[in-house]
Amino acid sequence: MTDNGHRGTIDPIRGGMMDSLERVTGRVSYTIDLQVPGMLHAKLLRSTMAHARIRAIDVSRARALPGVAAVLTGADLAARTDIQPWFGPVFRDQPILAIGKVRHVGEPVAAVAAVDLDVAQEAIDLIEVQYEELPAVFTLDEALADDAPLVHEEPPRVGQTFADLIIDTKSGTNVCNHFKLRKGNMEEGFGQADEVFEHVFTSPPAQHVPMETHACIADVRDGRVTVWVGAQIPFVVRSQLAEIFKLPQTRVRVIVPTLGGGYGAKCYPKIEPVTAVLSLAARRPVRLHLTREEEFVTITKHGVRIRMRTGVKRDGTITARQSECHFNTGAYGDIGPRLIKNGGYGTGGPHHIPNVAVDSYAVYSNIAPAGAFRGYGVSQAAWAYETQMDMIAEKLGLDPLDFRLRNLLTDGQRVMTGEDMFDAHFVELLERAATWIGWDGGDPVRNGSKVRAKGLSCIIKGTVTPSTSTASAKLNDDSSLDVLTSSVEMGQGMHASLALMASQRLGVPVGSVNVSLPDTDVTPYDQQTSSSRTTHAMGTAVMGAVDEIREQLVALAADELEIAAADLEMGQGAVRVKGSPDRSRTYGELVRASRSGNLLGSSTFRSEGGLDAETGLGIGSVHWHQAAGAAEVEVDLETGKVDLLRYHAGVYAGRIINPVQAELQTEGNVAFGLGQALFEEMIFDNGQLQNGNLGDYMIASIEDLPDDLNTDVLEHLEADEIHGIGETSLPPVMPAVGNAVYRATGVRIMDLPITPEKVLRGLRALADQEVSSR
């Protein structure tokens, strides 16, 4: 049965999207659809150099072009006293426009606002920049060399940032942050091991590719800043703009329409500062919408190298694991200095390991900045440990499933950050995955030049902790409910999930619940729409806000019906006397009786935790997200091409709120992950991106998805806990595929992606070995 609400279609059982009708008619409004009267159009001039001093910029011809309203350079911004021209969520290390030098190809150097895009582009073409090229570093090895040129000569400035952030910078090097974890005794741990395995695994930089590239409209006039932007974290955009313009936060308004995809790319300010300073200079609203090529150099997934040592007893018990992780964070820190924590402790994996040591580093280099990316460092960590698990199993002569089951965390065991595991479902998830794929540890199946085999994986992921979400709600005099929240709708179906939770809690039809879009002038604080946290964190806040209204309704009904509150019950839009259902008042009647216009409720969700700066131990996550994967691949031995034939994506959800969205997000993770497993990689040559467009950089199409795809969203109502599932089933995809490719071919790929070239090279190396051993 469909509940046709005023904004679209949500089925109370199946779930769905709140504004489905707007979404299939093309009417749903993204930032790119907005028009502000008097709006100008912006274009950016971007650096052609990876690392260079700016000797001079001549903007005179651009400024003289008719139709140009403003031309800005970093020097212009640095000279102004009314602007603080540096931003960044951790370090204020990123200039709005390059000041003094450029640090990566594609960095904005100058900006133009003009009457239309043609004029803006023509003005950009008239700007001349003289660079003095500097030695640059692109790879981790280059950036970490003793005599490496420094991307940032000065230690980065820390601004107001996350309460739990651990900062350990190495001044005089390109290391911009170091996270360490020390659990147990490594000497003892490795001493107990019969075998110690050491391998190096790498993941390349990759692109989020939201179908909607970054777009922003800014209006900065009369001491007031208004921006419309598809941002995942509106309140950080607000606080950073307030800092840039030296204004109270109340003078900055951030309005967030629905997003055309985010995946982490739209976390933290990106193009808002430059759009806003252009508006300030032009004294008109300004719109900036990046091209796909610009999007590629705006933010990326971290390229990562992980050296992993794992000590194991002959019976398959893991005794110790030591990881050294280097995250190439590019020219600016963005959230990299924080992400290394999750990626770092993440290497502990879903295994019970008494002794764990992690050193995780964010390293500056002269490539495009890296930041939050669906999986948040855990994909790179899981690629390392779940690949190594299969390598260890083979050396010890153990079945990869049995070896995992022996070591997977169960309730009461300590996770890598030291707290006790609870609500553990790793074993169940992996066993269900193995059953579905038909795991038998058997030999690969060969058919002509094609060979099939299966692979498994299982992962753990934290969600940002501590964290805070606030919500408020208004019950109207017709029993309809407005929910005010700053959580961002980016396709995950958050609006529908919050509406479903509020409707169930209050006892009103889901179609009579409205959920707001974020507007920092109106909607209360939310920390971030990321980290798979909204349904749990904001959902809890929304239910708390509804509970406040419920209490008022009961008190009002007790008054109206002249009966003790304890004798009342509520649901289906009314408060009734227990046992006398005809003695009742509808919510609307009670709102009217209150003479308040509407009943207001508000609530705050807070999770507690955080890690110790020296040991990395503490509360890593309010609860732990869990997922397993099982893949069956077919490898063409003549071409090296890998096809994903079947895939099982298992994820623990606790209680499922919106079943169809849970399925969609999980299916989406498989599509996202198979691209990163098989072909996604940003290729840089001397800092110049070689494949920065969708012709050269492939993402999964409908033909890449396995015909046989099973989503297994596991529910355990008795736990009474909601787990986010937006990212959790992504990290298992890459190692499950890699492990299946190995079992099919004997070729062990340790550097993503698993391209046909690498598979063929591996097959040739195996053939050569066979020849030489004869």
Partner 1 sequence: MTMTGEPNAATDADPRPLDAEGKLTLTLNVNGRDQIVRARPHHTLLEVLRNEVGLTGPREGCGVGMCGACTVLVDGKPVSGCLLLAPLAEGHDLVTVEGLEGPNGELHPIQQAYVDHTAFQCSYCTPGFLLTTKALLEDNPDPSRDDAKHYLAGNLCRCGSYVKILDAVMDAKERVRED
Choice between 522 and 683, CB closer to partner 1: 683
Choice between 544 and 675, CB closer to partner 1: 675
Shortest CB 262 distance to partner 1, Å: 8
Beta bridge partners of 326: 305, 361
Give me 771's structure tokens: 């020849």
Q: Report the site for partner 1 in 629-648 (rule: CB under 8 A).
A: none
- 476-501: string of b/e by CB count within 10 Å (b at 16+)? bbebbbbbbbbbbbbbbbbbbbbbbb
Q: Report the site for partner 1 in 257-286 (rule: CB under 8 A).
A: 258-263
Contact pick of 703, 718, 720, 770 for partner 1 (by CB under 8 A) = 703
The distance between the two most distant Cα atoms of the chain, rounded to a whole number of Å, is 96
Q: Report the site for partner 1 in 241-260 (rule: CB under 8 A).
A: 258-260
Choice between 619 and 674, CB closer to partner 1: 674
Choice between 122 and 526, CB closer to partner 1: 122
Contact 455, 743 (CB under 8 A): yes
Shortest CB 450 distance to partner 1, Å: 18
Contact pick of 560, 667, 721, 751 for partner 1 (by CB under 8 A) = 667
Choice between 186 and 699, CB closer to partner 1: 699
Give me 631's structure tokens: 């893949």
Rounded to 10 deg, the angle between the 733-745 and 756-773 helix axes is 30
Shortest CB 382 distance to partner 1, Å: 19
Cα gap 386→404, rounded to integer Å: 9
Collapsed DSSP state (helix, strand, coil) of residue 726: coil
Indicate whether 397 belongs to the interface with partner 1 (CB under 8 A).
no
Choice between 554 and 660, CB closer to partner 1: 660
Count residues contacting partner 1 (CB under 8 A)? 63
Contact pick of 349, 493, 524, 731 for partner 1 (by CB under 8 A) = 493
Contact pick of 134, 391, 396, 705 for partner 1 (by CB under 8 A) = 705
Contact pick of 158, 165, 391, 660 for partner 1 (by CB under 8 A) = 660
Choice between 491 and 629, CB closer to partner 1: 491
Q: Does the bond joining 466 to the residue before it have cis omega, within 30 degrees of 0?
A: yes
Choice between 106 and 261, CB closer to partner 1: 261
Cα gap 436→646, rounded to integer Å: 10
With CB under 8 A as the contact rule, which of the stretches 375-383, 505-513, 687-695, 764-772 interacts with partner 1? Answer: 687-695
Indicate whether 33 belongs to the interface with partner 1 (CB under 8 A).
yes
Cα gap 557→564, rounded to integer Å: 9
Choice between 243 and 663, CB closer to partner 1: 663
Strands 52-58 and 128-133, bridge-based pairing: antiparallel
The three-state DSSP-derived secondary structure of 125-194 is HCCEEEEEECCCCCCHHHHHCCCCCCCCCCCCCECCCCCCCCCCCCCCCCEEEEEEEEECCHHHHHHHCC
Choice between 515 and 760, CB closer to partner 1: 515
Shortest CB 435 distance to partner 1, Å: 21
Contact pick of 124, 473, 631, 699 for partner 1 (by CB under 8 A) = 699
Shortest CB 722 distance to partner 1, Å: 19
Shortest CB 438 distance to partner 1, Å: 21
Collapsed DSSP state (helix, strand, coil) of residue 273: helix
Choice between 208 and 648, CB closer to partner 1: 208
Burial class (CB in 10 A: 0-12, 13-18, 19+), 20: middle
Contact pick of 61, 63, 283, 292 for partner 1 (by CB under 8 A) = 292
Q: Report the site for partner 1 in 718-737 (rule: CB under 8 A).
A: none
> 């700053």: which residue's tokens?
486
With CB under 8 A as the contact rule, which of the stretches 45-53, 299-307, 340-348, 485-493 interacts with partner 1? Answer: 485-493
Give me 635's structure tokens: 């490898």
Q: Which amino acid is at 490?
A: M
Indicate whether 30 belongs to the interface with partner 1 (CB under 8 A).
yes
Contact 502, 514 (CB under 8 A): no
Q: Report the site for partner 1 in 189-218 (rule: CB under 8 A).
A: 208-213
Contact pick of 393, 670, 713, 760 for partner 1 (by CB under 8 A) = 670
Helices (H), strands (E): how many in the chain? 19, 35
Collapsed DSSP state (helix, strand, coil) of residue 668: helix
Shortest CB 734 distance to partner 1, Å: 15
Contact pick of 163, 223, 695, 720 for partner 1 (by CB under 8 A) = 695
Which of 103, 32, 111, 22 lies closest to 72 in space, CA to CA? Answer: 111
With CB under 8 A as the contact rule, which of the stretches 198-206, 288-296, 308-316, 554-562 interacts with partner 1? Answer: 288-296
Contact pick of 463, 534, 535, 665 for partner 1 (by CB under 8 A) = 665
Shortest CB 544 distance to partner 1, Å: 27
Contact 753, 680 (CB under 8 A): yes
Q: Report the site for partner 1 in 67-126 (rule: CB under 8 A).
A: 67, 118-119, 121-122
Shortest CB 213 distance to partner 1, Å: 8
Residue 678: partners with Cβ closer than 8 Å, 6 or more residues away: 642, 644, 704, 737, 753, 754, 755
Contact 723, 536 (CB under 8 A): yes
Give the number of residues written for the chain.
774
Contact pick of 5, 7, 17, 404 for partner 1 (by CB under 8 A) = 17
Give me 239's structure tokens: 């606080």
With CB under 8 A as the contact rule, which of the stretches 275-283, 447-455, 585-593, 655-663 interacts with partner 1? Answer: 655-663
Contact pick of 130, 160, 291, 769 for partner 1 (by CB under 8 A) = 291
With CB under 8 A as the contact rule, which of the stretches 333-341, 405-413, 569-577, 666-674 interacts with partner 1? Answer: 666-674
Residue 669: partners with Cβ closer than 8 Å, 6 or more residues away: 374, 649, 727, 728, 729, 730, 733
Contact pick of 169, 480, 503, 661 for partner 1 (by CB under 8 A) = 661
Cα separation values, 624 from 184, 246, 576, 721, Å = 21, 39, 40, 11
Choice between 243 and 681, CB closer to partner 1: 681
Collapsed DSSP state (helix, strand, coil) of residue 475: strand
Cα gap 471→540, rounded to integer Å: 9
Shortest CB 709 distance to partner 1, Å: 6
Beta bridge partners of 525: none
Choice between 34 and 167, CB closer to partner 1: 34
Rounded to 10 deg, the angle between the 587-594 and 534-561 helix axes is 70
Shortest CB 374 distance to partner 1, Å: 10
Shortest CB 209 distance to partner 1, Å: 5
Contact pick of 106, 343, 349, 491 for partner 1 (by CB under 8 A) = 491
With CB under 8 A as the contact rule, which of the stretches 129-137, 151-159, 243-251, 489-497 interacts with partner 1? Answer: 489-497
Shortest CB 706 distance to partner 1, Å: 10
Choice between 24 and 445, CB closer to partner 1: 24
Cα separation values, 577 from 208, 545, 573, 590, 594, Å = 55, 24, 14, 14, 19
Cα gap 716→500, rounded to integer Å: 19
- Binding residues for partner 1, rule: CB under 8 A, are 9, 15-17, 20-21, 23-30, 32-33, 66-67, 118-119, 121-122, 208-213, 258-263, 291-293, 490-493, 660-661, 663-665, 667-672, 693-695, 699-703, 705, 707, 709
